[in-house]
Chain A
């Protein structure tokens, strides 16, 4: 997006290569099982698969029938079964059941499991336990990265959040490291790597470790990605907890954007069927409104419609030759634009209908008070009523978590009463949800001074225990204060207002939350890159009249030490990752003198370097407010009772 309105922005790297690589590898793997075969696909791999291949490609490689994992195959099915799955224990049991059922009935088949993105030892253990090891062959489809748009790549690992932050399982770190390796080999070497958070650090170290073995290739190539940022989700929960008010965010809230595409139902399409629409930079209407505050979208759309009308009207008074030209050259584009316009207008109507039915305005107001720390009592009773009326269970939790993080936990009395009412409204089994949220540190109870010390001393005992070395993240977050107020003050995340916040010509990124909050992760990237980030990534150049200053990128975390301390650190910053090893990773900017002069010059020449930022789930080259908008939220909610 950043490239859209700027002449000095470098071209976006061609992330399409990632798709082609994944497709080629999948085809190769399918060919390893020659002949006709039935393919079983895990439900949450379907959307990603859709983005890189289609049924005809599968058919070309002799896939006969397609099944969803968890369904029973038809009895007359083929002699070969191929399973395209995530490395999950329950999927292994499902496959084993099929194999064992076949054995019982004397049916012999060939079975192949393709794990994406990688195989886990625990899966093989289950296959062995179930007595089917050896009956099945296993392969890995190294599909680590899916480009969702020209500037957003996602790992599409829905379990990541829960596995790492709730269970403390490090199983996906290897996948992140390999994804980094892939990015580095295609678009690197990265100029500089920055990171905040324990997971970021471990991923970085493992990646360097992998990289050391394959040193040498890619040297001397022109790097297409300047710097990388690795950031743990838990450094900035607030961004994920606030209501989104830009068009793309609202579309996601209302219709759920999955893998960069959305299903618009009959009420949007004003016909009797749903349409699946890809939402990306290719959609000329969407790309112009996706990052706009919802209030400016209507005006834009009506302007656009009028222009379209005018263009259609031109054909009146045309002679035959002009008409011929018009039909052959312009009509198709106009029709396409017309289709897109009517879809997005329909979507806007749907969003408006839904949001006015709920008390969206009141909710936003409550959120803003929480962020500013005013009228806490009022917001608390708003949340209470929200719960009592059985409005969305997720929204209720979201608001409670926001209250907890901004206030360093709930007052014990409020915690108890809200929890009780929540269980009464949405079901007693949510007791488990509350425990999970507490463990993760998203929804906590303010401890009386005494108990906090008890926890801390318990934790510190664990820390000093030489053998323990590291404490779990669960303990970590228990003991951690969210420090929200201090951090937002330090970084100016809550804009001071003199007068109305101009949402159409915003001064900063806070417009994505109606001027209430600047996303922390984006702010940090802005601070580090020093080159000023445009307030509106997709906006017109007119929105920022002053040219982007030619400023050197900040070396390391210099000047941000205090913020990092409040964020509970684990930060690192390493330059010229081609040369520096993990040893260079450390506090502050100790390694910047190693930075080759050449790199520095390149930076000055291209101040608005593209930088890829990494959150556990996705990379985004532009500081989009929330690269996987509700993804991580959905997962923490999933942390409820389904374990």
Chain B
């Protein structure tokens, strides 16, 4: 009886099932007792499980093989093992150095042996036997590094070792409790590299629901896992995790982000179509919708225009060959393009500027700036004029702009507009200082002269005389103003 009891104790100190009862610490003792009974009654089944473990292990490797043991080191932690064998064959001599028979131990054989042979060495003893194989991949390192190798490190010591880049097996952290203590220690140690290493181990050895549940209350660790999944491109698991956390917007963004990796436009368009239904905010949904519509338009325009350009029938494409395709360009660039090549088209066509403006609800300001830049580039001054001319109900025309006229001047000037065109807009600049400085800068003499006249600034006007050409109309104009007795000069 007492032996059986000792077995039980030992079991409770070594079993990987321990942590499941520690999950809820509120009523530790009674729960412990209950579960203990429950587990005891299940012992046969548990043993069966162990057998299963021996056959398959967690990753499908035969437990106890050399490759298994290499794999179970902390630094090496995921599934695929191709190339391992070849590396062993041609690898350094140190691989051959470690005893083959060691590998015949397996953890599950120890589990089983424990019941049948009570005097069998403890789990940790057994592990220290097998310890040497656990850092096989690192054997090329100087032996000294392993001198202090042991298997009894506390979670804290384990984390400390890992922080210093030393090898350390995590395999003995089998109970959930142990795993979580290890994770918390890693977080407390502030080293993200170690946190990620522990997470890789947890990810491999825990069912995802359990891992997710535990990470939900460990925000720092959670960030590390999310970042890790992003970097390794495990999109599916990432989405599962975000869904589990109810972070629907991040789910949507993360899926939307994938479109950047799709090069083929048709496929990208299809993909974007699928994104419209994702759980974005209402505002973002309309952005996604616009993105889709824009690409759809661009595909149509691109096909048409390429054809037009190839056929050589359209004058504008012959005169200004396209420098790049319009696919995947921003909306404003597309608008510029359509103002450049398709300005006069009726609203009905997909490529007409008015259609774009309407479909995407482009604000006046943005539309005017873009159309102005495009038409000025073509030196279509008539179009520029029309852009700002409004008629009131009496038929009078007036110039109006949703942007400051100084901006209009700037854009025109950059496109080398002639002085006649320029000064028409310079004189519309409201702020007198700005108007004067622009007019002076761009040599719109008439505007300067008129402004000084309005300001009744005789001194400045006289001074300006030397800026205009001798004997020119402007000089004459200045002279006649200066001689005008009607004007009451302020100086």
Contact = CB atoms under 8 A, between A and B. Distances in A.
B220 A168 contact: yes
Contacts of B362: 424
Interface string B198-230: 001000000000000000011110111011101
Interface in A32-79: none
B193 A206 contact: no
Interface string A119-146: 1111011101111111101001000000
Given A137-B140, A174-B163, A424 B332 contact: yes
Interface string B333-373: 10000000000000000000000000010110110011001
A314 B190 CA distance: 65
B195 A170 contact: yes
B55 interface: no
Among A89, A170, A172, A643, residue most surrounded by chain B Cβ atoms (within 10 Å) = A170
Contact of B224 (A169, A174, A390): A169
Contact of A128 (B71, B90, B140): B71
Nearest to B335: A424
B192 interface: yes
Given A167-B223, A174-B191, A470-B220, A121 B84 contact: no
A169 B223 contact: yes
B189 interface: yes
A122 B231 contact: yes
Interface string A413-446: 0001000110111111101100100000000000
Given A206-B189, A390-B333, A122 B228 contact: yes
Given A428-B294, A472-B219, A170 B232 contact: no
B280 to A, nearest CB: 9
A426 to B, nearest CB: 6
A497 interface: no
Interface string B148-178: 0000000000001011110000000000000
Contact of B284 (A125, A390, A429, A431): A431
Interface stretch (A461-469, A547-555, A595-603, A630-638): A461-469
Contacts of B78: 125, 128-129
Contact of B369 (A389, A426, A471, A475): A389
Contacts of B162: 121
A145 B187 CA distance: 26
B87 interface: yes
A113 B80 CA distance: 21
Report the interface size class on chain A.
Answer: 35 or more
A303 interface: no
B18 interface: no
B220 A103 contact: no
Contacts of B82: 131
Contact of B83 (A133, A137, A167, A429): A133
B226 A119 contact: no
A171 B224 CA distance: 9
Contacts of B257: 432, 641, 643
A116 to B, nearest CB: 14
B192 A131 contact: no
A514 to B, nearest CB: 20
Contact of B197 (A121, A168, A388, A431): A121
Contacts of A133: 76, 83-84, 87, 137
A150 interface: no
B82 to A, nearest CB: 4
Given A167-B223, A428-B290, A134 B87 contact: yes
B371 to A, nearest CB: 12
A97 interface: no
B410 to A, nearest CB: 8
Contacts of A126: 232
A163 interface: yes
A168 B224 contact: yes
A470 B373 CA distance: 52
B88 interface: yes
Interface string B125-161: 0000000000001001000000000000000000010
Nearest to B189: A206
Contact of B86 (A103, A173, A467): A103
B188 to A, nearest CB: 8
A420 B197 CA distance: 41
Contact of A134 (B84, B220, B228): B84
B193 A385 contact: no
A125 B144 CA distance: 24
B83 A131 contact: yes
Nearest to A475: B219
Contacts of A210: 163-164
B283 interface: yes
A205 interface: yes
Contact of B137 (A134, A163, A170, A468): A134
A135 B217 CA distance: 40
A172 B192 contact: yes
Given A121-B75, A122-B232, A471 B219 contact: yes
A288 interface: no
A89 B253 contact: no
B77 interface: yes
A452 B317 CA distance: 54
Contacts of A385: 365, 369, 403, 407
Contacts of A281: none
Among B81, B218, B232, residue most surrounded by chain A Cβ atoms (within 10 Å) = B232
A202 interface: yes
A118 interface: yes
Nearest to B280: A431
Nearest to B162: A121
A565 to B, nearest CB: 23
A130 B224 contact: no
A323 interface: no
B196 interface: yes
Nearest to A388: B366
A174 B217 contact: no
Given A121-B196, A169-B227, A428 B291 contact: yes
Given A125-B200, A389-B369, A424-B332, A134 B291 contact: no
A474 interface: yes
B230 A103 contact: no
A115 to B, nearest CB: 10
Contacts of A474: 223
B366 A435 contact: no
Among A169, A432, A435, residue most surrounded by chain B Cβ atoms (within 10 Å) = A169
B430 to A, nearest CB: 14
A108 B224 CA distance: 37
A425 B332 contact: yes
Interface in B294-340: 294, 328-333
A124 B86 contact: no
Given A424-B330, A432-B253, A121 B83 contact: no
B331 A424 contact: yes
A467 B177 CA distance: 13
A128 B230 CA distance: 19
Given A131-B83, A429-B260, A171 B232 contact: no
B93 interface: no
B91 interface: yes
A435 B253 contact: yes
A135 B196 contact: no
| Top 7 closest pairs, chain A to chain B, by CB | A134-B87, A131-B83, A168-B223, A170-B192, A171-B192, A121-B197, A131-B82
12 contacts: A122-B232, A125-B76, A125-B77, A128-B71, A129-B79, A168-B220, A170-B195, A173-B190, A209-B189, A390-B333, A431-B253, A467-B218
Given A100-B83, A130-B83, 7 more contacts: A122-B232, A135-B86, A174-B190, A426-B330, A428-B291, A468-B217, A472-B222
Interface of B: 71, 74-84, 86-88, 90-91, 137, 140, 160, 162-165, 187, 189-197, 200, 217-220, 222-224, 226-228, 230-232, 253, 256-257, 259-260, 283-284, 287-288, 290-291, 294, 328-333, 360, 362-363, 365-366, 369-370, 373, 403, 407
